[in-house]
Amino acid sequence: MKTKSVDALNFTFSAVGFGCWAAGGGAIWNGTEDAASIQTIQRAVELGVNFFDVAPVYGFGHAETILGQALGRQRQDVIIATKCGLVWDDQGNITNDLKPATIEREIEDSLRRLNTDYVDIYQIHWPDPATPIQATMETLNKLKTAGKIRHIGVSNFSTRLMDEARQYSKIVSHQGLYNLLERNPTQYHNIPLDYRTEQDVFPYCRQHGMAFFPYSPLFQGLLTDHFKPQNQFDTNDVRSANPKLNGKRFETYYQIRGELFAFAMEIGKPLSQVAINWLIHQDAITSVICGAQTIAHVEENVASASWDFTPDMLAEVERILRPYHDPVYTA
Ligand SMILES: NC(=O)c1ccc[n+]([C@@H]2O[C@H](COP(=O)([O-])OP(=O)(O)OC[C@H]3O[C@@H](n4cnc5c(N)ncnc54)[C@H](OP(=O)(O)O)[C@@H]3O)[C@@H](O)[C@H]2O)c1
């Protein structure tokens, strides 16, 4: 397994990481089974994956519980990055909440579910405009002093908000939407993004020695060999609410996917590996957070790190993408 490291952290990350959203189970991703999630996570560890991204909101606590169970005593050997700031009510309505009291409750719940006494990187999931960032960061500092979290990361933050947050504490990482077809995305599902990944976040992370973790590297399954053009999601699968995977906009994305798929066939690799390895080869990227629900998926995804892009291959990928995104890669 290739590894990556950054100045802000004393960790060596596997270039292929693992995203635990689907381990939230049940209806979230076309019906994930717990036993399969546990086996998939354990296989990832066997294959050298040491970075696991999760969040309380994934399955309303369930993904954290499954990750804790799957890791067991191997927890010491891996880097767990969970999150705070998205809370839910009894009806399943989710809200942004970074108030100190909420975070203090959330960390206790996460530690219990993950069956650990510390989180390696505690990430703010999304900004909460209703809570001053100073109050949030000071609370996170207290958790650090108490040894409950080792480092503070952010997700979906603009560079302006990172500047503000860094007045109160060190931030070691940014997690944002980034893949072959979403290089400077303006929207995630129906949520507007006030950061541009490649244009703003990459230079920012480089400047501050921070890690960058790209989420949805496979465009939620579109950038794989198995994706079919017809809508294949259960109505309660989160992907049925992604406007880029449904309706008119989907047609363009599917067309580009077709060209990338033909390129992948030509070089004799699965499309998923082209998508993941294209991310790995970029020095701005630390560990690619790949979602996977089966052992076969995780094996295929990990194998992305076993071959190298040649300059010709990279040029060909750029040539395929250029007509769709020139001059600025937005989505
Ligand atoms: N910070 C944030 O706001 C945020 C937002 C989104 C995600 N994330 C994190 O990023 C992680 C990954 O993103 P994501 O889950 O949105 O999407 P993703 O990694 O782009 O796609 C994952 C899905 O692709 C399919 N897949 C994976 N490997 C495959 C393979 N080798 N062959 C065929 N299909 C394959 C599986 O779904 P099917 O088999 O059902 O098609 C899998 O669930 C999440 O788990 C989460 O940890 C963070």
Three-state SS annotation for 238-275:
HHHHCHHHCHHHHHHHHHHHHHHHHHHHHHCCCHHHHH
d(CA 240, CA 237): 6
Ligand 1 centroid distance, CA of 38 (Å):
16
> Which residue, judged by its Cα, is nearest atom 30 of ligand 1?
297
User: Which pTM was predicted?
Assistant: 0.96
Of the pLDDT bands very low, low, confident and very high (cuts 50, 70, 90), residue 242 is: confident
Cα-trace Rg, the chain: 19
Ligand 1 centroid distance, CA of 21 (Å):
7
* pLDDT given for residue 314 in this prediction: 96
Q: What percent of the chain has pLDDT over 90?
A: 83
**Is the minimum distance from the CB of 289 to ligand 1 under 6 angstroms?**
yes
DSSP conformational letter for 330: B
**Is the minimum distance from the CB of 297 to ligand 1 under 6 angstroms?**
yes
Tens of pLDDT along 63-75? 999 999 999 999 9
Burial 75-111 (b: 16+ CB within 10 A, else e): beebbbbbbbbbbeeeeeeeeebbbeebbeebbeebb
Ligand 1 centroid distance, CA of 97 (Å):
25
* pLDDT given for residue 92 in this prediction: 87
Of the pLDDT bands very low, low, confident and very high (cuts 50, 70, 90), residue 251 is: confident
Closest CA to 294 of 17, 28, 42: 42
Q: Work out which ligand 1 atom sits closest to the CA atom of 237.
A: 40
> Which residue, judged by its Cα, is nearest atom 48 of ligand 1?
215
Q: Work out which ligand 1 atom sits closest to the CA atom of 227.
A: 41
The answer to whether 245 touches 187, Cβ cutoff 8 Å, is: no
* pLDDT given for residue 240 in this prediction: 79
Q: What percent of the chain has pLDDT over 70?
A: 95
* pLDDT given for residue 325 in this prediction: 65
Closest CA to 97 of 118, 83, 77: 83
* pLDDT given for residue 31 in this prediction: 65
Q: Work out which ligand 1 atom sits closest to the CA atom of 293.
A: 43
Q: What is the mean pLDDT of residues 267-296?
A: 97
* pLDDT given for residue 328 in this prediction: 44
The answer to whether 329 touches 75, Cβ cutoff 8 Å, is: no
Q: What is the mean pLDDT of residues 104-115?
A: 98
DSSP three-state, residue 111 = helix
d(CA 233, CA 299): 23
The answer to whether 25 touches 63, Cβ cutoff 8 Å, is: yes
> Which residue, judged by its Cα, is nearest atom 22 of ligand 1?
291
Q: Copy the structure tokens of residue 63.
A: 């993904």
Closest CA to 115 of 195, 54, 31: 54
Residue with tokens 């990172």: 162
Q: Work out which ligand 1 atom sits closest to the CA atom of 226.
A: 33
Residue with tokens 């769709």: 324
- Specify the range with the lowest mean pLDDT, choosing from 21-25, 144-148, 310-314: 21-25
d(CA 234, CA 195): 30
* pLDDT given for residue 176 in this prediction: 98
DSSP letters, 136-176, are HHHHHHHHHHTTSEEEEEEES--HHHHHHHHTTS---EEEE
Ligand 1 centroid distance, CA of 138 (Å):
32
Class of 8-325 per CATH? alpha beta
